[in-house]
Structure 1
Amino acid sequence: MELNISMDERMKFYNVSGLSIALIGNGQISTAEGFGVLESGTNNRVSNHSIFHACSISKFITSMLVLKLIELGMLDLDEDINNRLTSWKVPTNEFTLDKKVTLRTLLSHQSGIIDPEGSFGEFDSTQGIPTMVELLEGKTAYCKEAIQVQYEPGSDFQYSDAGFCIIQQLIEDASGRPFEVMVTEHIFRPLNMNNSTFVVQYISEVINDDFSCGHNKNGHVVDSKYPIYPFPAAAGLWSTPSDLAILVVELMNSLQGRSNLGLSQSKAKEFITSQGCKEWTGLGVFLDGAEQELKISSLGWGVGFQCMLVAYPYKGTGAVIMTNADLGVHQLQGIIGEIFNSLTL
């Protein structure tokens, strides 16, 4: 696969300062390349090691961690999550009488949880870092209403950051360890994803020349420079296209019984199988097509950044595109979509 596009010209057209891409072919990374700069007005060039905010692609990593912990017997896909939650419980109400909230419904955004309007915004230094319990209880500016089930689990789809905050708390309660430690131990370290981190709360301590600043649609650096979201499992990941492509390749290998993480073929297949009431929803990824033409995707969009992960797991092809620009339009309507449409995957 080749990039059949004039990247410098298109980046100038869209006011995109920096962009990085990794392509997957024949089940392995075939291309990794950076373009532009990490911060407008500087000569800090984007490289293969440049780290971008992955925003909601965090959910893809979190979902893979859940599969691993299920394989270890630490979690269960279909049991009532209140059985293992200790720090906080999903409040019972009329919607949970017959159907309970499970990891399956949380991962597929069909748990009955609806994010309160205006919730889950960017980190505010005056508010500090919330615990997940504080957030779920509606005691922070990031989520001012207590989270509760608002429709029968499995009966509808509502994209939810709160659902992944619940997953984070479940992982911490079940393991007795911080979420970031569990990701590092079970995902990053075994796969040598050395340019990925969830330690966003302390970004000032980990920031280095490899980190990209965020930019608005006019190409200007955003006020916070390195925007963060203080709910790691939902939107806290900083990573590179190459690192994310490593995880995509791991999923492809798992489907062939060659997992490096110890994931079974059955769990890998379930990960990319339609769930519940929506055929286009897997366990933390979105689906399109079927059989050999099945396409999975995960999108990230936050202050100053946009990115997209797309793969055809049975064909062994895919692409991860990350930019340090929020163009204000859906990824497919901007430079990411133009690049993706130019590829033959």
Structure 2
Amino acid sequence: MTPRLTSNGVPPGHPARRLARPALATVVVHGRTPDSVNVEGLADTSTGRAADPSTAFHLCSTAKTVTAVVALRLARDGVLDLDADVRDVLDVEVVPAGPGPSVRQLLSHHGGVVDPPDAFTPGPGEAPATADVVAGRTPHHDGPVRVTEPPGRAFSYSDAGFCLVERVVETVSAQPFADVVHREVVAPLGLTATTAWAGERSAPGARSSTLARVVGTACAGHHRDGTRVDGVRVHYAGPSASGLWASPADVGVLLADLLRAWRGAGSVLLDPASAAAMLEDRYDHGVGLGVLVGGPRVMSQGWGVGFQAKLLADRGADRAVAVLLARDPGVPQEGSVVGRTVRALMG
């Protein structure tokens, strides 16, 4: 089934452009394929550039879901051990001394890594390499990333923990993280405008054309009042935690495949054992690997400077929706247009 792809953004020069809003995209998946992809508004309110289903949006922390998929695929192939101490791969200090966290624990925010205040403040330029963030060589994290609580004991939402996962992936794969995402997720699904993007303008190899498409189409970030953020858009350190950019059309393909995986209905990305591992709430905190879980529902969401997003799947209803907004609405998803739209689409 071919999804309905529509766009009613206002073209540059149109008198209504002054009243147009930053882009809002909705994706509905029912059954095995995307049912509809709809985009309204502008990719950039300063220039009047219209958004459409091929326009890349910043998905913010929904990147964590894709990072978990990457780790699960590498584990399936025997490249990565989800339950090994990450110190088998990385030089990570544990304070106090004791066992280090596993990738599985880090993916569920139970790795004992607590982000310091004001960590991961983004900027308009290219974000630093994650290796430098982990080593404490940037202002994005106060000192080196350390494990300060016993792994497995408590939930602490941590971008720094995902930076450790990113470095494990890079080390065992001997490739940059963005290239691994391309190989393990983008290429298998045939996505055309999805990548882990830290602000670089070009990339060598297989990812080059995809990155060029994202750079050329990406929405600007917008403040609550609809004005464009300084520098057009910002980038966060640690692409594994919050650096995923994707078009609504691609989100539909990705979400459809994940829904099939979570329902045990056949998936390109995940075999049944990997899909079950992703949804396991091992610590009974409503947290799987890179997702939040509750009954038949699976959720991922992100909120950053200039953007907000939410993905929600209902395995029992065989339905999933995504809402992407090129604007910071100023309130969490529960009270924003993103959350209201997700609720309306899910029924």
The TM tier, using the shorter chain, reads 0.7 to 0.9
Question: Which of 41, 46, 58 is 1:36 aligned to?
Answer: 41
Retained in 2: the 8 A contact 1:251–1:313? no
Alignment partners' CA distance in 1, 2:320 and 2:265: 19
Query: 1:321 maps to what in 2?
Result: 323
CA distances 1:171-193 after superposition (whole Å, capped 9, x unpaired): 01111111111111111011011
Query: 2:187 maps to what in 1?
Result: 189
Q: Summarize the Cα distance change of 1:83–1:300 in structure 2 as closer, same or farther, 3 Å threshold.
A: same
Q: Per-residue deviation at 1:138?
A: 1.6
Q: Per-residue deviation at 1:16?
A: 4.3
Q: Summarize the Cα distance change of 1:145–1:319 in structure 2 as closer, same or farther, 3 Å threshold.
A: same
Query: 1:279 maps to what in 2?
Result: 285
CA distances 1:113-167 after superposition (whole Å, capped 9, x unpaired): 0011111111364xx6423232112221111222211111111111000011111
Letter in 1 for 2:179: V
Letter in 2 for 1:273: E
Equivalenced residue count is: 322
Q: Summarize the Cα distance change of 1:208–1:183 in structure 2 as closer, same or farther, 3 Å threshold.
A: closer
Alignment partners' CA distance in 1, 2:341 and 2:217: 23
Gaps of 5+ in 2: 1-7, 10-16, 203-210
CA distances 1:197-229 after superposition (whole Å, capped 9, x unpaired): 223331488365522111001110000212111
Alignment partners' CA distance in 1, 2:20 and 2:333: 14
Alignment partners' CA distance in 1, 2:291 and 2:345: 21
Query: 1:331 maps to what in 2?
Result: 333
RMSD between aligned alpha carbons? Answer: 2.3
Question: Which of 329, 339, 344 is 1:342 aligned to?
Answer: 344
CA distances 1:24-46 after superposition (whole Å, capped 9, x unpaired): 11232111010011111544222
Secondary structure of residue in 1 paired with 2:52: coil
Q: Summarize the Cα distance change of 1:185–1:208 in structure 2 as closer, same or farther, 3 Å threshold.
A: closer
Q: Is the aligned partner of 1:180 residue 2:178? A: yes
Q: Per-residue deviation at 1:279?
A: 3.0
Retained in 1: the 8 A contact 2:65–2:290? yes
Q: Is the aligned partner of 1:19 residue 2:24? A: yes
Question: Which of 27, 48, 60 is 2:53 aligned to?
Answer: 48
Alignment partners' CA distance in 2, 1:132 and 1:323: 26
Query: 2:276 maps to what in 1?
Result: 269
Alignment partners' CA distance in 2, 1:15 and 1:274: 42
Secondary structure of residue in 2 paired with 1:283: coil
| Equivalence map 1:107-256=2 (5 Å) | 107-123=107-123, 125=125, 129-203=127-201, 206=212, 209-255=216-262, 256=264
Q: Summarize the Cα distance change of 1:297–1:176 in structure 2 as closer, same or farther, 3 Å threshold.
A: same
296-305 or 139-148, larger mean C-alpha shift = 139-148
Retained in 2: the 8 A contact 1:116–1:145? no
Retained in 2: the 8 A contact 1:310–1:320? yes
Q: Percent identity?
A: 28
Retained in 1: the 8 A contact 2:201–2:215? no
Alignment partners' CA distance in 2, 1:311 and 1:42: 35
Retained in 2: the 8 A contact 1:27–1:317? no
Alignment partners' CA distance in 2, 1:233 and 1:208: 18
Q: Per-residue deviation at 1:299?
A: 1.0
Alignment partners' CA distance in 2, 1:41 and 1:132: 32
Retained in 2: the 8 A contact 1:100–1:153? yes
Alignment partners' CA distance in 2, 1:230 and 1:17: 25
Secondary structure of residue in 2 paired with 1:38: strand
Q: Summarize the Cα distance change of 1:43–1:70 in structure 2 as closer, same or farther, 3 Å threshold.
A: same
Relative to the length of structure 2, the TM-score reads: 0.87
CA distances 1:5-24 after superposition (whole Å, capped 9, x unpaired): xx99xxx9x99421111101
Alignment partners' CA distance in 1, 2:253 and 2:156: 29
| Equivalence map 1:50-89=2 (5 Å) | 50-85=55-90, 89=91
